[in-house]
Structure 1
Amino acid sequence: MSNLVSGTKWVALETVITRILQLISALYVARVLGPETMGTVALILVALEIFTLFSQMGITQALIHHNNPTNDQLATLYTVNWVLAGLAYIAIFLSAPAIAIFFDNEPLSELLRVAGLSVLIAALGQQTLALLQKELLFKAMAIISIIAGTVNVVTAISMVSLGWGIWSIVAGQLAGLLTRSGLAFVYGIRKALFSGFGASFRAIKPMLSFGFYQTGAMTMNMINSRADQLIIGKTIGVSALGIYSIGSQITLQAMQQINSIATKVAFPAVSKQQDDLEQVKRIYLAMIANVLLVSAPLFIGLAVLSPLFVDVVLGEKWTGLSPVLSILCGYVLVRSLGNMNGPLVMGLGKANWAFYWNVGLLFVIPGVIYLSSLDGRIEMVALALLITQLVLVTIAYFYWIRRLIGPCAREYVFTLGRPVLSALGMGGIVWLLYRGVTWENDLITLGVMVLVGVAGYLLFSIAINRRNLVGFLNGVFSKSGVAIPGVVSDRHH
C-alpha cells in the first residue's frame, strides 16, 4: 500500500498547482470579459464534455479495472480510441450550427468547431495516461499535468490581455491539451507503454462491455450535473448562465479537483483490493475523511465570505454572484460525498449499478432544475439543487455503501461529521468577526478573515477531529507515514 501514500502526495501536488493556475486564469478572464462572454464559454465546455464522453466510451476506466491487459488488447483499444475520437469530431462539426441556433448564440457554431479539435488531441495520449493511473505511477502523471496546465493558463491570460476575447480560452484549452497528450505519448513510447495499433476486437469485448456500462453511467451523471447550465442558458439567459457558471467553476470544479486527489488513487487501489472488503472499507472511509478535511473548511469559509470574495476578486460586474456562490458552496460540499462513491463502485466492478442509479437521477435532476428556473432567479436553482442533493446522499448510503461494504452507518457518520463540525465552528467565528468589525480595505479584510479561519479550523479540529487531522498530516508529510491516513474506526469511539 506504500504506492498509495506516494500516489496521494503526487496527485495532491498536481491538483493544488493546476487548480490554483486554473482558478487564477478563470477569475482573471472573467473579470476582463464579463458574465455574457463567460456564459458562452460555459455552453462550449458543456457541449465538449458531452462529445468527449462518447469519444472515450469508458475505455480508460475499463483499462484500469481489467487485470493484466495483453499487447493485442492495448493496441486494439488504442485503435478504438482514434475511431471514436474521429466520429465525435464529425458529430461536433455537423451539429455545431444547430447548437448555436438552439441557444440563439451565433458565434457558438464556429467556436465549437475549433474547440472540438480537443477530442482528437486527447486520443493521442489517453491510453498512456490510463496505464500510468492503473499502475499508480502518479509522479509522471503529475509532472505532465502541471506542465500542461501551465501552458493552458499562460496562453489564455496572454491572449486575453492582447484583446483576443473568448478565443483566448479556446486557444488555452487546445494548447494545454496538446501539451498533455504529446508529453504522455512520448513518455509512453520511452517507457514501452505504447503498443501501437491493432484489430483484435474479440479480445477486448469484455473490456468494451464494462466501458459501455461506464459510459452510460457517466452520460447520465453528466446530464444530471450539467442540466443546470443547459437549462439556465436556455430559460434564463446567457448572462445569468455566466454568473452561475463562474459560481460553479469556483465551487464545483474546486470540489472535483479536491475529490480527484482521492478518486485517482482510490479507484485503482480499490480495484487491487477488491477481494478484501475490509480493506476496501478502510480505503473508502479514509478517502472521505481526507477529502472533507480540506473541502469542508474551504466551502463553509467561502460561503460566509462570498460578498467580500466577489468584490475583491471579480469586481462590480459580478455583484449578482455572491448569494449564488454561498448556496453552491453548500451544494458542492454535500455532492462531494456522492462523488466518492464512484471509485468504490467502479473498483468493485459494479458499473451497471452506477448506470441504473444515474438513469433514475435523470428523471429527478433536470425536472428539479427546470421547475426552479421558472422563477427566473438562479439562486432558486442553486437552492433546489442543495435540497435535492441532501436527500440523495441519504438514499445513496443504502443503495451504494451498505450493499457494497456492509453496514457502517456509525463509522460513516463519524467520518464525515467531525470535519464538518470543525468547519462550522470556524465559519461561525469568521461570520461574527466579519459582521462585528468595520474594515476599510477589502483586500486586507479578506486576508485577515482567511488567517482567522485557518487558525480557527485547526483549533476546532484539534478539539473535535484530532485523530483524523494527525493521520492526514502524517500521510502528507511523512515518508514513512501510514498508507491510508485519517481512517476513523468505530471501535475507537
Structure 2
Amino acid sequence: MLNTVVSRFGTFGIGIVLARVLGPEAFGTFAVALVALLAVLSFNELGVSLAIVRWRGDPVLIASTVNTISVAGSTAFFAAAFLLAPAFTRVMGDPEATGVVRLLILSVVINGAAATPAALLQRHFRERTRMAIDQTNVWVGAAISVALALLGAGAMSLAVGRLAGSLISAVMFVRASPLPYRFGLDRTRVGGLLRFGLPLAGTSLIVFLVGYADQLTAGAVLGTSALAFYVMAFNLSGWPVSLFSQPLRRVAPAAFATLQDDPVHLRAALLAIVGALAAVTVPLVAFLAAAAVPLVDLVYGTAWVPTAAALSWLVASAVCRVFYELAYDYLVVLGLSGTVFWIQASSLLALVPALLLGARFGGVAGLAGAQAAVSALVLLPLYLWRLRLTGVSLLGILSCTWQPMLAGGAAWLSGTALVGAGLPPLVSLALGGLVSAALSAALLLRRRDTLRMLQAIGRSDVSHGDVKESRPS
C-alpha cells in the first residue's frame, strides 16, 4: 500500500510540474507515443509471465523458458512497432511524434526482459522490494524528464525519462529475482505455456482497446491538443482510484489462486475485496466529479481547464474499470480467460461507434461520456453476468456496495454545495476532500472484519512461500 501511495503522489506531483512546463501541445505529442507503447505492452510477452505466478510447482521448471518466450516476443513486436510508427502518428494527427514513439517503444524490450523476475517477486509477495524498484523507476525517470523539459526538450523529455526509469528498474528486478536469470527452451513446456498465455495476451490486447479506444479516437478525430486534455482527465480520474485498487489487485490473483479449491471462501474473498474497494473509491470519485473545474484550474492552470469537461465523466468510468478488472483477475484464476476475452471483444462492438459519435458531436466531453456509458451499461453488466454463472451472488455484490453508493451520493452533494458556495477553490476542495475521506473511513470501519480476513490470506500465502496455483497445461 505504501508503495502505491508514494508512487501515485510522486507521479501526480511530477505530472503537475510537467503539464505546466510543457503545455497541452507537447503533452499531447507524448500521449501519442505513450498510447503506442501501452498497446504493445498489452501483449508483448505473449501472456506467459503470469504462468510464473500461477504455477503449482517449482517455478524454476519454467522460468528460463518463460524468459526466452518473453524476450523473443518483445523484440519482435518492438521491431514491428518501430517500422509502423510513421503510419501510426499520421493516423493520430501528429506525424512529428514519430521520433518520440520510436524512442519510447524501446521500453517494450526492457519490459519483456524483466517480466519473469517481476512475476517471481509477485509470486513471493516481495512488496518491499517492489516498492524500492518502483520508486526508483518513478523518481529517476521524473528527475530526468523535468530536467530535460526545463531545458526545452519538449515531448522527448518525457520519453527519455520514462525509458531511463524502465531500464534501471529492469536491472533491479533482475538482481532481486529469487531465481538466477537464465534463458532456455524446454520444448515440453512451450505448448502449455502458450496455450495458457496466448488467450491472456489476446484478452489483454482487447482490454487495451477497450481502455484506450477513447484516446485513439481523441487523437484521430479531435487532434493532439484534445488528446492532451483527455489524457490529463483520464490520468486525474484514475490515480486516486488506483491508489487504493492497485495494492489489492497485486495480491488478489495470488490470494484467489490460494483459495481456488475452496469455492465458498473464494467467493467470500471476492466480495470482501469488492466491498473494500467500493468503500475507498466511490466517495472520493463522486467528490472529484462535483469539483472537477476548480480542481483542474487550481492544480494545472487555466490552460488545462477543458480537461474538467472530461473528468466529470471519466471518474465514473474509472470506478467501473476497477471492478471489472477485479472480476477479470477472479475469472482468470478460475481458468476462464477465454470467457473474459469474449466479454471484452463484445464490448468493443458498442464502444467504438459510441466513441466516434461522442467525439463528433460532443468533443472531449462527449467522448468521455460515451466511455463512461459503455463502461457502466455494457462492460460491467457483462462481467456481473459471468460472475453469476460461477456462483457469485449478485445480491451479495449489492449488499457490499449499496452503502458506498449512498456515501458517494452524499460526497457528490457536499462537493457541489461547496463549489457553489463561493469559497476559495483550495478551501472548498479541502473541505470536500475531508468529507469524502470521512465517509470512506466510516465505511472501512464497518468492514474491519473483512479487512482482517484479507490480511490473513496474505500472511498465509507469505508463510507458505509459494502460492498454490493452477498449472497451465
Q: TM-score, normalised by structure 1?
A: 0.87
Q: CA 1:114–1:288 in structure 2 vs 1: closer, same or farther (change >3 Å)?
A: same
Task: Report the Cα distance in structure 2 between the residues aligned to 1:229 and 1:122, rounded to whole angstroms.
Answer: 22
Letter of the structure 2 residue corresponding to residue 240 of structure 1: A
Aligned position for 2:293 = 307
Work out whether residues 236 and 376 of structure 1, in 8 Å CA contact, stay in contact via their aligned partners in 2. Answer: no
Equivalent pairs, count: 459
Q: Could you give the per-residue CA deviations for residues 142-193 of structure 1, whole angstroms, max 9, x where no partner exists?
A: 22212222212222222222322211211121121112111011112xx4x1
Deviation at 1:197, TM superposition (A): 1.1
Q: Could you give the per-residue CA deviations for residues 269-315 of structure 1, whole angstroms, max 9, x where no partner exists?
A: 11122111112112111111222222112211111111111111111
Task: Report the Cα distance in structure 1 between the residues aligned to 2:66 and 2:392, rounded to whole angstroms.
Answer: 38
Letter of the structure 2 residue corresponding to residue 269 of structure 1: A
Aligned position for 2:434 = 451
1:38 partnered with 2:27: yes
Q: Could you give the per-residue CA deviations for residues 60-100 of structure 1, whole angstroms, max 9, x where no partner exists?
A: 22222222255352112111122112112211221112222
Letter of the structure 2 residue corresponding to residue 454 of structure 1: A
Aligned position for 1:414 = 399
Alpha-carbon RMSD across the aligned residues, in angstroms, is 2.2
Letter of the structure 1 residue corresponding to residue 432 of structure 2: M
Letter of the structure 1 residue corresponding to residue 446 of structure 2: R
Deviation at 1:397, TM superposition (A): 4.9
Deviation at 1:195, TM superposition (A): 4.7
Q: 2:412 aligns with which of 427, 443, 448?
A: 427
Of 141-150 and 251-260, the range deviating more from structure 2: 251-260
Deviation at 1:407, TM superposition (A): 4.4
Aligned position for 2:80 = 91
Aligned position for 1:5 = none
Q: CA 1:483–1:70 in structure 2 vs 1: closer, same or farther (change >3 Å)?
A: closer
Aligned position for 1:102 = 91
Aligned position for 2:446 = 467
Pairing 1:130-209 to 2, within 5 Å after superposition: 130-188=119-177, 191=178, 193-209=179-195
Task: Report the Cα distance in structure 2 between the residues aligned to 1:393 and 1:402, rounded to whole angstroms.
Answer: 14
Q: CA 1:483–1:134 in structure 2 vs 1: closer, same or farther (change >3 Å)?
A: closer
Q: CA 1:362–1:201 in structure 2 vs 1: closer, same or farther (change >3 Å)?
A: farther
Of 257-266 and 275-284, the range deviating more from structure 2: 257-266
Work out whether residues 300 and 423 of structure 1, in 8 Å CA contact, stay in contact via their aligned partners in 2. Answer: yes
Deviation at 1:259, TM superposition (A): 2.4
Task: Report the Cα distance in structure 2 between the residues aligned to 1:251 and 1:355, rounded to whole angstroms.
Answer: 25
Task: Report the Cα distance in structure 2 between the residues aligned to 1:394 and 1:224, rounded to whole angstroms.
Answer: 12
1:215 partnered with 2:198: no
1:294 partnered with 2:292: no
Pairing 1:293-442 to 2, within 5 Å after superposition: 293-392=279-378, 395-404=381-390, 406-436=391-421, 438-439=422-423, 441-442=424-425
Work out whether residues 37 and 166 of structure 1, in 8 Å CA contact, stay in contact via their aligned partners in 2. Answer: yes
Q: CA 1:423–1:376 in structure 2 vs 1: closer, same or farther (change >3 Å)?
A: closer
Letter of the structure 2 residue corresponding to residue 330 of structure 1: A
Letter of the structure 2 residue corresponding to residue 467 of structure 1: R
Work out whether residues 66 and 207 of structure 1, in 8 Å CA contact, stay in contact via their aligned partners in 2. Answer: no
Work out whether residues 338 and 396 of structure 1, in 8 Å CA contact, stay in contact via their aligned partners in 2. Answer: no
Secondary structure, counterpart of 2:49 in structure 1: helix
Q: Could you give the per-residue CA deviations for residues 209-251 of structure 1, whole angstroms, max 9, x where no partner exists?
A: 1100001111111111111111111111111111111000111
Task: Report the Cα distance in structure 2 between the residues aligned to 1:13 and 1:475, rounded to whole angstroms.
Answer: 20
Deviation at 1:484, TM superposition (A): 7.7
Task: Report the Cα distance in structure 2 between the residues aligned to 1:154 and 1:467, rounded to whole angstroms.
Answer: 41
Letter of the structure 2 residue corresponding to residue 104 of structure 1: G
Q: CA 1:483–1:101 in structure 2 vs 1: closer, same or farther (change >3 Å)?
A: closer
Letter of the structure 2 residue corresponding to residue 177 of structure 1: S
Letter of the structure 1 residue corresponding to residue 399 of structure 2: F
Aligned position for 2:471 = none
Pairing 1:208-247 to 2, within 5 Å after superposition: 208-247=194-233
Task: Report the Cα distance in structure 1 between the residues aligned to 2:103 and 2:80, rounded to whole angstroms.
Answer: 13
Q: CA 1:33–1:473 in structure 2 vs 1: closer, same or farther (change >3 Å)?
A: same
Q: TM-score, normalised by structure 2?
A: 0.91
Of 394-403 and 152-161, the range deviating more from structure 2: 394-403
Task: Report the Cα distance in structure 1 between the residues aligned to 2:321 and 2:48, rounded to whole angstroms.
Answer: 25
Aligned position for 1:8 = none
Secondary structure, counterpart of 1:274 in structure 2: coil
Work out whether residues 267 and 343 of structure 1, in 8 Å CA contact, stay in contact via their aligned partners in 2. Answer: yes
Aligned position for 2:246 = 260
Of 44-53 and 61-70, the range deviating more from structure 2: 61-70
Secondary structure, counterpart of 1:377 in structure 2: helix
Work out whether residues 132 and 141 of structure 1, in 8 Å CA contact, stay in contact via their aligned partners in 2. Answer: yes
Letter of the structure 1 residue corresponding to residue 409 of structure 2: L
Q: 2:42 aligns with which of 33, 43, 53?
A: 53
Of 238-247 and 139-148, the range deviating more from structure 2: 139-148
Where does structure 1 lack aligned partners over 5 or more consecutive residues?
1-11, 486-493
Q: Could you give the per-residue CA deviations for residues 9-64 of structure 1, whole angstroms, max 9, x where no partner exists?
A: xxx11111111111111222112222222222221111111222232111122222
Aligned position for 1:17 = 6
Task: Report the Cα distance in structure 2 between the residues aligned to 1:293 and 1:276, rounded to whole angstroms.
Answer: 26
Where does structure 2 lack aligned partners over 5 or more consecutive residues?
460-473
Pairing 1:72-83 to 2, within 5 Å after superposition: 72-83=61-72
Work out whether residues 62 and 211 of structure 1, in 8 Å CA contact, stay in contact via their aligned partners in 2. Answer: yes
Letter of the structure 1 residue corresponding to residue 241 of structure 2: M
Task: Report the Cα distance in structure 1 between the residues aligned to 2:433 and 2:115, rounded to whole angstroms.
Answer: 39
Q: CA 1:231–1:199 in structure 2 vs 1: closer, same or farther (change >3 Å)?
A: same
1:283 partnered with 2:266: no
Of 353-362 and 60-69, the range deviating more from structure 2: 60-69
Letter of the structure 2 residue corresponding to residue 451 of structure 1: L
Percentage of identical aligned residues: 24
